[in-house]
Amino acid sequence: MDQLIAMRVFTRVAERGSFAQAADELDISRAAASAHVAALEKHLGARLLNRTTRRVSLTAEGTDYLRRARRILDEIRDAEETLRGTRSKPQGLLRVDVPVAFGRYLLLPALPEFTRRYPGIELDLRLNDRVVDMVAERVDVAVRVGGLRQAGMVARRIAHVNIVTCASPTYLADHGELSTPDDLREHRLLGLSPVNGGTPEWIFAAPYTPRRLKLHFAMLFNSAEAPVIAAAAGLGITHTADLLVAEYIARRELKLVLEDFVVPGPPISLVYPSAGHQSAKVRVFSDFAADILRKWTDTVHTWVRPGTEPPQTLLPIRY
């Protein structure tokens, strides 16, 4: 048995849930695919797949082995790339996971430049605000805001956000301005629902702690962008990262309030499984994404501060 071939066949069968589909993609017969997996199971002394006439599914042992096999195969692929000299010519499939706002407003507009520089890279780009299991979902590199939640990852801190409070000019004209965070108790507040439930806690410097403020929210959302959009529509006040509201403020759709109470927010990091962080495609994408974020934060942090007038527009950032 060629164990590496057997591992590749098993991985493809597990991902597709079908011997026939895996065999077609690997350009081998179904009998050969079945033989490779059977030989691997015999070698390991464990059943990896449950087989029925209609479907193929992983056993508990198969689920664990699939995760480890993927990591081994990814390391082999990265080693081959390096030996073939592809560090100077990155290529192949790159799976990227980024927050929705970063993808929509910064990364997608920059993709034409990225593809021009690296035409050999095929992107599988996933935009979501859910923190995925990078190993289980085979993500090569992710952009993350805040601390790491998954062990075994390598993080490269590249920027940070500030937390600001803002509302639309129309809302403020109707409901009045604010002097201190205590004034928030008299306003309609738009919050982001915590992942683990409960009530959002807006952070300001002491003495304006969540315990003192005891804020109540008119609306809660499960998307980081939603409170910003709602605030721009005049529905209330939001408290969020400056990167999310910067373009709205530049267009005068939102206005900063409580400008003297801006606080430092969480870091922004590029995160990748330790096994793959040196591959060429991960390296060049990481550098590209880091450059985007640095230029954006440098621009935003320059004027999202008390008494500073924003430009008419921030986009597009030049790459």
Angle, CA of 182, 188 and 189, to the nearest 5°: 75
Residue 159 φ/ψ, nearest 5 degrees: -165, 180
CA dist list (Å): 39 to 2, 13, 61, 71? 9, 14, 16, 21
- Rounded to an integer, what distance in angstroms lies between the CA atom of residue 151 and that of residue 88? 30
Work out the average pLDDT over 243-270.
87
- Rounded to an integer, what distance in angstroms lies between the CA atom of residue 63 and that of residue 48? 8
Residue 315 has pLDDT above 60, yes or no: no
pLDDT at 154: 79
- pLDDT tens for each residue of 72-82: 887 787 777 66
Taking the CA atoms of 87, 89, 94 and 97 in sequence, report the sign of the dihedral they define.
positive
Angle, CA of 128, 129 and 130, to the nearest 5°: 95
Residue 145 has pLDDT above 60, yes or no: yes
Of 101-115, 212-226, 246-260, 263-277, give the lowest mean pLDDT range. 263-277
**Nearest to 95, CA basis, from 285, 230, 231:** 285
Of 15-24, 114-123, 196-205, 214-223, give the lowest mean pLDDT range. 196-205
Domains of the chain: 3-83 (1.10.10.10), 94-158+270-302 (3.40.190.10), 161-266 (3.40.190.10)
What mean pLDDT, rounded, does the chain reach?
83
- pLDDT tens for each residue of 215-249: 999 999 988 889 999 999 999 999 998 888 888 88
Residue 87 has pLDDT above 80, yes or no: no
- Kindly give the interhelix angle for 242-250 and 280-303, rounded to the nearest 10 degrees: 60
- β-strands 255-257, 189-192 pairing: unpaired
Whether the CB-CB separation of 119 and 263 falls below 8 Å is answered with no
